[in-house]
Structures are given as structure tokens and as C-alpha cells.
Structure 1
Amino acid sequence: MVLISSVDTPTLGDRSYLAHDGRVALVIDPQRDIDRVLKLAADEGVRITHVFETHIHNDYVTGGFALAEATGAAYHVNDEDPVAMAHTPIRDGETVPVGDRMRVRVLATPGHTFTHLAYLLEEREETGWKPVGVFTGGSLLYGAVGRPDLLGPEHTDALARHQHASAQRLAELPEDTLVLPTHGFGSFCSASQSTAAASTIGVEKALNPAVTLGLAEFVDTLLSGLDAWPAYYARMASANLAGPAAGVLDAPRRADAAEIRASLEDGGWVIDLRNRVAFAAEHVIGSVNIGLDGSFATYLGWVIPADASITLLGETPEQILEARRELSRIGVDPAAHATGSVRDWAGDQLPGSYPRAGFAELAHVRHHRPVAVLDVRRKLEHAQAHLPDALLIPLHELLARIDEVPDGEIWVHCAAGYRASIAASLLAARGRTVVHVDDDFDAALRAGAISAAVPEPVG
């Protein structure tokens, strides 16, 4: 019997897969920290013989080539992808045997990229080959599809049309076939998000707009729902075409208080990994809070300049190693780290702090005096509902537009507090007076704690 296990990376919203028959295994879309896949294979007592890429990934550095090198497995990449490393090229319509009880059928499914492939896994039975699951990568997701706009606006419309055709092709598979996507669990590679934990072709045929809608309506719906994607995506494809090595997972060199201060003075970035409550109460002046309790790597890669020298601050060595692993997945190598407390990191420098508040407090203050409010959510979130007179600067645009933030006290909010903490710390590092609104926007709106402008209904 064929068994399929997922290796989840929730902070990036992705899944890799290992499938095996008890003896040999194949892996789909592995992340760069390949030790997780190697451990899973060892625990299952199987040998990895084949590694498959559904596409040249935009949201992480692949571990496919490194895993194939480490295991001696065949590394399967679309023949049309101009990769520089050794690989086994494959094309639409080919069938790849994996041992004597599994095989993989290659299906062209352009849309997320032009050369995207899906892989139908089949198991040998007495009566013939039975489909088990289809690894759909960034094609057919749970209730959605992968974004068609990551290759640039000049290709978006064509790729959106390809996504529809590819979804229709996949919908022709048997209805009990498992749908096994790489994206769609919080990844910005997904055009929308679903809370589903599993799905089948039958479920997607009934619910997925890429299957249920006609071409024109689907394209209009898909394109109208697209918003910004992380800046670091622009660097991932070139890294993946080159055949990246496995990620470095050891802690970078240790820095003391003097080195932390020198890094800040030299234009380096000092990233505090603690949660936003601890950071607001006390932090090294000039440091930026990107907590490990949220989408750490996504927002660091989105906000911090690509060429930045990064020092990580964590309370424990385990936090540093977790951050190093997260960053390796997007090709970021921090220069140094320190552990301990703010007093250890700041040395003889006084720590900084700023207040936190809720939306009810913000409403109360605004009732009594003028208050500047900065909304750092994305544009589509803002369009759904927003505070009147709040200045919208999405978090990923804040560094480039920081001069637009008005003088004086500024109250910073997002949807739930995590992004607002990053923004507040960026402003505080530049000497601004900030209040971090650490609260749930939607909950405050429902409770009547705030009044927000919402779009007028159409029709």
C-alpha cells in the first residue's frame, strides 16, 4: 500500500510530500532544510529514489537538488526549465516508474508558471494501476489556484487562462483522487486561502472556481483578488535555477553588546525575535521586532533590504536556530546573533519602549484629540473596511514611504497586531513616537469598538 506523508512549513504556507511503498520513496517539492525529509524517510525505513519539482519556485529556495545529491535520487525537472544543475528532464505525458509498485504520470499544468507540472501518483494493483493522488504544486489548490502574476504583469492574463485550462484538465481525473498541492496553506503563492485540511478531485470539481466557473468569469474573479506579494520572491527563481545547496542551519557567529551597537551605527539590521509584547516593553534602541510567533521569514524577506547585514537577537539558542532555519528557506544568511536579555544586548545603553493599546482606546483618544493613525494592512484589506482618516501605507511599502508618515505621535495598526509591531518598531528605530495598536481589527469592528468605512454595495 502506498503511504503519503506531508512535511509542512506553516510559516511559508507550503507543503512537501514523501510517498512510499514500504521500500522506496519519492519526494515532491522539498524545502531547503532537507534534514526533515531525510528523518522522515529514515523513520519510515525507506530509500528516496526520486525527487520531483512541480515548478521553479518563487516563494522559497528549493531543497530538491540538495536532497537528490544527498540520496543519489533522480532529480526530475521540466525539460523546458533552463536549470544549471544536473537533473533528469521530464515532459508532459511521460511515466516514471518508482520501484515496482508505484509510478508517476507527468501532466503539464501551466498557470502558476508556464512550465508547471503536476504528478499523478498511481499504485499497482492486481487489476492494474490505480490513481492515488495528484501532486498539484501551484496549480489546483484547495478551493483556489496558484497566483498567475508572479512572472510579471505582461504574463498575468495568459497565465490566468492557463490556470483555468489546467484545472479543467485535472478535474478529468477520478473523483476519489487526492489533491496534494504545495501552496495554499497561507502562502502568498496562492490566489486565495482555504481552511480545508484535505481534498479530492471530486470536492474541487464541486467547489473550486477554476472548475466551476467559465473562463471569462474565472479570470475576472482571479485577477480582481490579487494583492501584493513578498519582495524576496523576485530572487527565488534565479536561485532555484542554479541548483542551491542545502541550507546552513547552525547559529551564525556570536555578537556582544558593542558589536550590536556597531552594527546599528554601520547601517546593519538588528532583528529582535521575541514576541511583540516583550519588545514593546523593552528593546535595544534601533532594533526591529519581527517575532518568531508569526510569519517571520516572509515579513523579514519582504521588508528588510536584500543586501542587509542581519544580527538576530533571541532569548534562547533554540530561537536563534529556529530563525536560522526559517531564513535558510528564503536564502537569507544572518551575519551574527546574540542570546539573553535586553540588558545583555544593550550594554550600557538605555533600552527603548513604547505603549501598546487596543482599538477601544484608540477610539476613545480620537474622541478627545486629533490622533494620526497609520494602517499597514494591504490594499485589498483596506478596501474591505478601514478607519476614516487613517493613512494607508502597507507594511512592505513603509521603508520607501516613511517620509509620508506625519510628525508627532502615530498610532499603528494592522489586522491583528503582528505587522503593526514590525511597523511600530521601524518607526521607533527612527526616533518616532509610536503607539502599537495590538488588537483584532475585525473583532473590534464587530463589537462596535470602532467605526470603519466600508465599500458601498454594488447594485
Structure 2
Amino acid sequence: MFFVDTIELAGLGNRSYLAGGENAAVAVDPPRDIDQVLAAAARRGVRISHVVETHVHNDYVTGGLELARITGAQYLVPADANVSFARIPVADGDTVEIDPGSRVALAALATPGHTPHHTSYVLREAGRPVAVFTGGSLLIGTVGRPDLVEPRLTERLARAQHASAHRLAAGLPDETAVLPTHGFGSFCSSAQSEGDRTTIGKEKATNTALTVDVDTFVADLLAGLEDVPAYYVHMGPANAAGPDPVDLTPPALADAAEIAARLAAGEWVVDLRSRVAFAEGHVAGSFNFEADGKIATYLAWMIPWGKPVTLLAESAEQLAAAQRELVRVGIDRPAAAATGGPDAWLPRGEKPASFPRSTFAGLAARGTDDVVVLDVRRDSERAQGWIEGSAHIPLHQLHGRLGEVPPGTVWVHCAGGMRAAIAASLLDATGRDVVAVDDGFDAAADAGLPLTTG
């Protein structure tokens, strides 16, 4: 009897998988922190005999090479992927036995589109397809974006995505489970997936890659592509070169004097506490990236690559969780860290900085005539409607465009509050008067604020 265990990487919006039979298993697109994959195998009482990659990933650093080294597993990577390490090249049609005793095997299926070399893997039990690991090819209701490799290839890869989706749909039974890596919040997805389970049959009925002609599909896909997170440019080369093992031991502890010195040197000091706690009191000059938010995505997207970062956490557990998220995107070792709160992070006698929080109702009551309303949502979000007279700078661009924010008290908002808190901390660090709107954007209309749509 086969099994498939899902390993959620919620912070990145991805999934990895462990699948196999009674004695052996394969790890598919494993994360860099491989201990959780090893733990999943231990719970099942199986050895990891194979590790496979669907493609050279652009959004996270893989743990595949290290997992194969530690377990002695065969490391399978698409043959056309240009990598610098020893691996077993996989070509279309190749089949490997994962657990012969359970009659569980894996067959490679070329599905170019997300990358030119992208490969899906069909899980078979006794020769019958039971699931397909589709990586960045066929996702739930959408496909992986085709613009992460080379701009000149984007349209060609979009057309390949359409063809690959049709190849999967035509070659597999409707009841085959579709198990993608991307699509659960990942920016590698061309659109956000709805739901968390699907089959070939369901996708044939609902996925636009399978319900519209190729020209319509390509035009709609290319028109809907969002900005690419800046750190992606570093992920592919790291994966192609072969990532180093991770070090998740606690970083060196910093006292108040060192925190102040690092701020004075222009380094990033990142407060991981909730946006409520940060607004109430924080170290002046520090930035707020909530540990419970998409810290890996937004911190890696916004920080100048390679700049030292010091992490401030309310607990050792919060710090460890953030470290785990950050190594997945190549931020390997914090320069320093501290736990507790502002009283422990500030020199004796110095008071924490703070700024107010409010809601859209609070903004409506205040009035927008003599304040700056700053919208930090993405372009696609703003196109659905915005507050009349508001300025717009997407969060991922704000650090480089702070000088463009008009003078005055800044009421900053996003769609729900998390990104507004990050933006408020950036503005506060420059000495601006700021109010963080911690509210869902739907409440703007309910509050009577004047809205405009494009």
C-alpha cells in the first residue's frame, strides 16, 4: 500500500512530499531544512531511497543534495538542468522502483513551462497511476509562472505550460491526485490556488490551461504576472551550484550596546514580534517583520542581499522558527540576535519608540484632507479599487522610494495589516509621523471612504 505525506512550507506557500511504500520512500522537492523530512520518514519507519527535484527552484534553496548525501539516497534531477554537482539525470519516460515490495514506482514525465527542463513524476502502485507530483507545472486551478528563467523565453514557456497541462490531462486517469509544489501562496504561481486538494479530473473541468485555447491562455497568463521577488535571482544559482548544509544553531547574542552599534552602522535590525507589540514599543530604527507573517518572502525581497541582519524576538522559540524560515531563502546566519523586549534591547534610561495604530473607520473619522494616505498593496490589488487621493508605492519598492512619500503624517495601509506594519516601521525608522492602518481593505468602503477603481 502506498502513502503520500505532505510537508507544508506555509511561509513560502509551497509543499514538499514524502511518498512510498512499506519500506522505502522518495522525497519530492525537499526544503533546505531537511530534518522535518527525516522526521516524516522516521514516523513512517521507512528509509529514503530516492530524492527527486521537479526543477531547479527559483523561490527557495533546496535540501535535496544534502538529504541525498545524509541518507545515501539516489538524487534524481532533470537531465537538462544545468547543475554543478553529481546527480542521476532523469529523462522523459524514465522509471525508478521506489519500494519494489509494495510495487511502488515513480515515472518521469517531461512538463516544460515553468522552466525548460521541468519534469513531473507519476507515482504508480502496481502499475496504476495514483498521484502525480507536478512541481511548478499543473497547479490547483492555475500553473506555475513562466517568466522566471529568461524574459525572451517567457511566451515560449507559457505555450509549453499549456501543452504540458494537456499532456498530463490526456495521459492520466481523472482520479489521479495532483500534488504540486507551488500554488499555496508562492510567488512562483501565476495565480493563487483555491483549495488544497485536486485531481486530474477536477483540473480538466476548472483549470484555464485545460479549458481555453492556447492563445487565450497565454495572453491571460502573461497579462496577470506580478513582480518577481528580488531574492529569486539568487535562488536558481544557489541550487544549481549545490547548496551548503544549514546551520540552525542559535546566533550570537547581542546586548543593547551592540544593537545600537549595528543600527548606527546601517545594518538591519529586525523585530519579529507582533505588529501590535511593535507599535506599542520598539527600538528606534528597527524594522518589524512579524515572525507569524511571510517573513522569508518579504524580508528576503526587501533587504539588500548580503546585508547583515540582527533578529529581535520575544522568545528563543520565535527566534528559532524565524531562522528556519530564513535559511530556506538563503539568509543563512543572522549576524546577532536578542530575545525579550525593548527594555532589554535599549540602553538604560532610553525609552522605546512607538506609533499609533488605527482602522479605516478611524481614518474616515479623522478625514483625509491633510494627511498622506499611503497604499502599499501590489499593482494588481490596487487595480481593484483604491482610496481617492492616496499615494501608492508597493511594499517591496518602499525602502528604495521613501523619499517619494509626500510630507505630512502618513496613514499607511495594505489589504489586511501585515504589510502596512512593515511599511510603518520603515517610515518610523526615518523619523516620519506614521499611523498603521491594521484593518481589512473591505472595511474602507464600509467606513465611507471614497474609493476609485481603474
8 Å contact from structure 1 (residues 377, 415) kept in 2: yes
Runs of 5+ in structure 1 lacking a partner?
none
**Aligned equivalents of 2:82 and 2:216: distance in 1?**
34
Structure 1 runs, 4 residues or longer, greater than 6 Å off? none
**Aligned with 2:218: secondary structure?**
helix
Structure 1 CA distance for aligned equivalents of residues 246 and 191 of structure 2: 29
Query: Residues of 2 paired with 1:82 and 1:157: CA distance?
Result: 21
2:43 match: 43
Cα distance between partner residues in 1 of 2:14 and 2:305? 22
| Counterpart for residue 306 of structure 1 | 305
Contact preservation (8 Å) 2:141, 2:194: no
Equivalent runs, 1:14-25 vs 2, <5 Å: 14-25=14-25
1:333-387 per-residue CA deviation (whole Å, 9 max, x = no partner) reads 21110001111001233210000010111122226x4211111100011111111
Structure 2 partner of 1:451: 450
CA distance in 1, matches of 2:362, 2:93: 61
**Alignment match of 1:111 (pick from 110, 113, 124):** 113
2:158 aligns with 160
Contact 2:20/2:99 (8 A) holds in 1:
no
**Counterpart amino acid of residue 165 in structure 1:** A
CA-to-aligned-CA distance 1:295-334 (integer Å, 9 cap, x gap) = 1111000111112110000011001100110001001021
Instruction: Please state whether the residue corresponding to 2:367 is helix, strand or coil.
Output: helix
Deviation at 1:109, TM superposition (A): 0.6
Name 1:319's counterpart in structure 2: 318
Q: CA contact under 8 A between 2:268 and 2:308: conserved in structure 1?
A: yes
1:150 aligns to what? 148
Identity %: 54
CA distance in 2, matches of 1:56, 1:77: 8
Aligned partner of 2:3 in structure 1 is 3
SS of residue in 2 equivalent to 1:311: strand
SS in 1 for 2:380: helix
Tell me how far apart the structure 1 counterparts of residues 237 and 437 of structure 2 sit (CA, whole Å): 38
Q: Say if 1:364 and 1:443 are closer, same or farther in 2 by CA, change over 3 A.
A: closer
> Helix, strand or coil for the counterpart of 1:133?
strand
- Matching residue of 1:290: 289
Aligned equivalents of 2:377, 2:148: Cα separation in 1: 20
SS at match of 1:146: coil
Shift of 1:448: 4.4
Q: CA offsets per residue over residues 155-188 of structure 1, 9 Å max, x none? A: 2111111110000101111111110000001111
Kindly report which structure 2 residues correspond to 1:63-74, keeping only aligned pairs within 5 A, or say none.
63-74=63-74
Per mean C-alpha deviation after superposition, the further-off stretch among 177-186 and 221-230 is: 221-230
2:136 maps to a residue whose letter is G
Q: Distance in 2 between matches of 1:5 and 1:246?
A: 24
TM-score by length of 2: 0.97
Q: Return the alpha-carbon distance in structure 2 between the equivalents of residues 448 and 287 of structure 1.
A: 32
Matched, 1:354 2:355: yes
Distance in 2, matches of 1:151 and 1:371, equals 42
Between the aligned partners of 2:168 and 2:364, the Cα distance in structure 1 is: 50
Provide the rounded CA distance (Å) in 1 between the counterparts of 2:450 and 2:178: 42
What amino acid does structure 2 have at the position aligned with 1:340?
G
In 1: Cα distance, 2:146 partner to 2:335 partner: 35
Amino acid paired to 2:117: T
Deviation digits for residues 46-80 of structure 1, max 9, x if unmatched?
00000000000011000000100010000000111
Give the structure 1 partner of residue 27 of structure 2.
27
Amino acid at match of 2:276: V
Secondary structure in structure 2 of the residue aligned to 1:6: strand
For 1:171, what is the secondary structure of its paired residue? helix
Return the offset for 1:246. Answer: 2.9
- Asked if 1:211 is matched to 2:210, the reply is yes
* Other structure's SS at 2:173 match: coil
Aligned residue in 1 for 2:407: 407
Code of the aligned partner of 2:245:
A
Residue aligned with 1:85, SS:
coil
CA deviation profile, 1:434-457 (whole Å, cap 9, x unmatched): 111111002433x244231113xx
RMSD value, Cα: 1.0
- Give the conservation status (yes or no) of the 8 Å contact 1:376–1:423: yes
Check whether the contact 1:247–1:325 (CA below 8 A) recurs between aligned residues: no
Residue identity in the other structure for 1:116: H
- Tell me the number of residue pairs that the alignment of Structure 1 and Structure 2 aligns: 449
Structure 1 length-normalised TM: 0.96
Deviation string 1:199-253 (CA, Å, 9 cap, x unpaired) is: 1000000000001110011111111111112111110000001111332211111
1:43, distance to aligned residue in structure 2 (A):
0.8
Distance 2:22 2:442 in 1: 48
CA contact under 8 A between 1:365 and 1:371: conserved in structure 2? no
- In the alignment, the residues of structure 1 paired with residue 191 and residue 435 of structure 2 have an alpha-carbon distance, to the nearest angstrom, of 31
Does structure 1 retain, via aligned residues, the 8 Å contact 2:361–2:443? no
Residue 233 of structure 1 aligns to which amino acid in structure 2?
Y
**Equivalent in the alignment of 1:102:** 104
Q: What is the CA–CA distance in structure 2 between the aligned matches of 1:47 and 1:247, rounded to whole Å?
A: 22
Structure 2: 5+ residue stretches without partners: none
1:35 is displaced (CA, Å) by 0.2
Q: Check whether the contact 1:247–1:329 (CA below 8 A) recurs between aligned residues.
A: no
Cα distance in 1, alignment partners of residues 431 and 156 from structure 2: 46
Matches within 5 A, 1:172-211: 172=170, 173-211=172-210
Question: How many Å separate the matches in 2 of 1:123 and 1:246?
Answer: 33
SS in structure 2 at match of 1:166:
helix
Q: Is the 8 A contact 1:59 1:236 kept in 2?
A: yes
Contact 1:19 1:25 in 2 (8 A): yes
Between the aligned partners of 2:417 and 2:38, the Cα distance in structure 1 is: 36
